[in-house]
Structure 1
Amino acid sequence: MGHGGNVLNELMTDHREVEELFGRIEAMPGAGQELRDLVDEVTIELVRHSVAEEQYLYPAVRKYVEGGDRLADKEIADHAEVEKLLKELEKTETDAPRMRPLLRQLMDDVSAHIRDEEDNLFPKLSRSCSPEALDELGDQVRRAKSMAPTRPHPSAPDTPPANKLLAPGAGLVDRARDFVTGRGKS
């Protein structure tokens, strides 16, 4: 992830990538390492995306959008639920009976979250922010994604300033673990 452009284009491109991964998961008939690799890839993308939104997008929504606190709080609550599902998926074997229902719940929840952001939050932010501010937010989000954790940390803080202080350290540890294990390289 890291596509360029303003924050809305950046995040919508992320959304399309996650939807493409969901399509690949749905088309996969079996379990095994190929499914684990796809679940890991979805997890990495969703965690990095969520951390960046929590660090920069939602504070901007609070600042620029009328009723932004309520909107940001709802989106952060959605992220918390998704992160719990990702943690469950991380420790569930791909051939376990609960794997497919957990994946279905994840795909449904994330798809609803994407629709809500793109139909509601993004247009409001676009109307209330200058193009320059949206471009700067895009740069901030890309930097945050490059340093973000790659594994779910449901108990980690999800609002500034604590999330901006702790996420890079967790990200460093996660990327080191990923390097050693080869996770996310397929």
Structure 2
Amino acid sequence: MPADLIHLLVAEHRRLESLFADVETAQAADRRRAALTAALHALALHAAREERFLHPALREHLPAGPEIAEFDRAEHAAMARDAAGCDEAGASALFDVVRLHMQQEETELFPRLAQACPPQLLQRLGELLESARVTE
């Protein structure tokens, strides 16, 4: 059985953490640049997936869902602006912001959604996210 939406998004968070670590530990400048490019690309894809699959579920199933989804979208937009001008020197600050965002999602948002959203819907959204990955 495929993972549900929340488990897949948490797995993407762990992948982002790994990519950030690659940037932070690469010794050679060319490897650091390549790792940063990969991390920023993965971050953009992840944000788009959350907006496509997570935000509608938030809007529908949490009492303050529309506001929460809008707040999350605004955070994504701010991170995207920061990422657009991000170089190796600015990566650490961006990564700190993203790490805090991911921690808040995992400790506050995802548990609330798991309580409020039917498991079958989270499963279906996970399947849709997996299908979207194939076409990206």
CA–CA distance in 2 between the matches of 1:17 and 1:116?
A: 17
**Letter in structure 2 aligned against 1:133:** L
Partner of 1:156: none
CA–CA distance in 2 between the matches of 1:68 and 1:76?
A: 12
Q: Which has the larger radius of gyration?
A: 1
Following superposition of structure 1 onto structure 2, how do residues 168-179 of structure 1 map, counting pairs within 5 Å? Answer: none
2:61, 2:116 within 8 Å by CA — same for their partners in 1? yes
Q: When the two structures are aligned, how many residues end up with a matched partner? A: 135
Following superposition of structure 1 onto structure 2, how do residues 50-129 of structure 1 map, counting pairs within 5 Å? Answer: 50-89=47-86, 92=87, 99-100=88-89, 102-129=90-117
Partner of 1:139: 127
1:85, 1:106 within 8 Å by CA — same for their partners in 2? yes
1:51, 1:145 within 8 Å by CA — same for their partners in 2? no
CA–CA distance in 2 between the matches of 1:72 and 1:64?
A: 11
CA–CA distance in 2 between the matches of 1:117 and 1:133?
A: 19
**Letter in structure 1 aligned against 2:78:** E
Following superposition of structure 1 onto structure 2, how do residues 20-31 of structure 1 map, counting pairs within 5 Å? Answer: 20-31=18-29
**Letter in structure 1 aligned against 2:93:** Q
Q: Which has the higher helix share?
A: 2
Q: CA deviation at 1:116?
A: 0.9
**Letter in structure 2 aligned against 1:104:** S
CA–CA distance in 1 between the matches of 2:80 and 2:130?
A: 20
Partner of 1:177: none
TM-score by length of 2: 0.91
Cα distance change, pair 40–146 in 1 and its aligned pair in 2 (3 A): farther
Aligned CA RMSD, in angstroms, stands at 1.5
Partner of 2:43: 46
Identity of aligned residues (%): 28
Per-residue CA deviation, residues 9-58 of structure 1 (Å, 9 max, x unaligned), is: 10000000111111122122442x21121011112211111111111210
Q: Specify the SS of the correspondent of 1:66.
A: coil
Aligned match of 2:7 in 3, 6, 9? Answer: 9
Query: Which 5+ residue runs of structure 2 have no aligned equivalent?
Result: none
2:23, 2:33 within 8 Å by CA — same for their partners in 1? no
TM-score by length of 1: 0.68
2:23, 2:32 within 8 Å by CA — same for their partners in 1? yes
CA–CA distance in 1 between the matches of 2:129 and 2:78?
A: 21
2:24, 2:32 within 8 Å by CA — same for their partners in 1? no
Query: Which 5+ residue runs of structure 1 have no aligned equivalent?
Result: 93-98, 149-186
